[in-house]
Amino acid sequence: MNQSYDVVIVGTGAAGLYCALNLPERLAVCVITKQGAEDSDSFLAQGGMCMLRGEGDYADYFEDTMRAGHYENNQKTVDLMIRSSNYIARDLVRLGVNFTGKPGGGFDYTREGAHSRPRILFHEDATGQEITGTLLRRAQERDNITIAEHTTMLDIASEGNVCGGVVLSDEDGEIRLLEAGDVVLACGGVGGLYQNSTNFPHITGDALAIALRHGIAVEHLDYVQIHPTTLFSRTPGRRFLISESVRGEGAVLRDQNGDRFTDELQPRDLLSRAVKEKMALEGSEFVWEDLRPIGKQKILEHFPNIYEHCLGEGFDVLREPIPVVPAQHYLMGGIRADLAGRTSMDRLYACGETSCNGVHGRNRLASNSLLESLVFAQRAADDIAFRHDAPVHPACQVDLGRYADQEGLFSSYRETILHEIERSDTK
């Protein structure tokens, strides 16, 4: 790692990698990540990525996104995301992503909750791994992109309201200032702050705490999505998601008597509420999800990883229902970002789950987040590449000694975010 780059990107998820790949090769880019390059929530995505299926689908796709978001969405960003989706899908295929196709040719599409029709591209039940793994391989091939693993952003460095780099702890534990003409925060959500979450535990909203401390505008930190169906477990750690496309393909929820009790395809927040209410009424720790209506062949073809994982936990989904429970899944709020991913601090961008451009409103529609991450990561890259002003490297004075107690620093970040989530809770 050098001491200075044109662009430093924090995060090797779909947003960070796609931003890096969309920057011109003349720019020296460093992408840092807290853990291994594959340890991001983007790799965990199961269900898929939404795509507009022709102009005839536009009104329905727009309405589905708005309805799931309780009409609090930013209509401009929703429009932009939907209209960019065909280009993004084509670009991913160009980069080498293998979406599942129909036997006769063309993409196959699956459906998830709150979608009025199938419009989700997928690769078995491991779409995130297929997309993000491909992006990672392409980024590793590029001479202008350095990927620094086990390198943690501790803070941003700024002078006035201009960002000039990041303070980090590198893989040897050395605390350094990495100077940058532009910084892109693509640090994912906040799941690591919760006891029950589908997210990686190291994804703890660090960028949000840093933004709050620097007075950078954030929005709706209380808009936290709870996924209705994760595999029930008494073992601590990450919760295993049972993808919504399982319900989209026919799985049903049952109470302790084996009876269906709700519409399985309603938006996530409403379904999570229905599941929690049923659990409270029954005094149970979970409800049952029955995959058998999907049929053996489709389960094995479309959901091989879910099938194998459940088998490893002692449940054969071909023969019996599995216990499921809601868990924290996604953050709709985040660092306020405009259509180009610009934040309220100059030369500081945010994209992916860390950012909030209003596209999801109060509740995200299933499979809109990979797409949103990619669309706005590309727009941030375009803004950096094409804007008319010359890069500045403000000389940032940083007392690196302040960051020696990293445990204390991250515990205070955690408190800052949890306090803000509670303070801004309007529900």
Ligand X SMILES: Cc1cc2nc3c(=O)[nH]c(=O)nc-3n(C[C@H](O)[C@H](O)[C@H](O)COP(=O)(O)OP(=O)(O)OC[C@H]3O[C@@H](n4cnc5c(N)ncnc54)[C@H](O)[C@@H]3O)c2cc1C
Residue ranges binding ligand X (CB under 6 A): 10-16, 32-35, 39-42, 44-49, 127-128, 152-153, 186-188, 198-199, 202-203, 206, 241, 330, 352-354, 367-370, 373
Beta-bridged to residue 183, according to DSSP, are 8, 348
| 86-106 per-residue burial string, b: 16 or more CB within 10 A, e: under 16 | eebbebbeeeebebbeeeeee
Residue 68's SS3 state is: helix
Residue 250's SS3 state is: coil
From the CB of 122, what's the least distance to ligand X, in Å?
Answer: 8
Where does residue 339 rank: exposed (0-12), middle (13-18), buried (19+ CB within 10 A)? middle
From the CB of 240, what's the least distance to ligand X, in Å?
Answer: 8
> For residues 45 and 178, which CB has a smaller minimum distance to ligand X in the complex?
45
Show Cβ contacts of residue 166 under 8 Å, excluding neighbours closer than 6 positions: 8, 10, 32, 153, 154, 155, 156, 157, 177, 178, 180, 183
> For residues 45 and 317, which CB has a smaller minimum distance to ligand X in the complex?
45
From the CB of 292, what's the least distance to ligand X, in Å?
Answer: 22
Residue 141 phi, psi dihedral angles, 5° rounding: -80, -15
> For residues 15 and 216, which CB has a smaller minimum distance to ligand X in the complex?
15
268 catalytically annotated: yes
Using the 8-state DSSP alphabet, how is residue 353 labeled?
G
> For residues 170 and 255, which CB has a smaller minimum distance to ligand X in the complex?
170
Q: Which of 14, 77, 362 is nearest to 221 (CA)?
A: 362
> For residues 64 and 206, which CB has a smaller minimum distance to ligand X in the complex?
206
From the CB of 78, what's the least distance to ligand X, in Å?
Answer: 15
Given a contact cutoff of 8 angstroms between Cβ atoms, the answer to whether 210 and 36 are in contact is no
The catalytic position among 238, 268, 342, 347 is 268
From the CB of 167, what's the least distance to ligand X, in Å?
Answer: 10
Residues with a catalytic annotation lie at 268
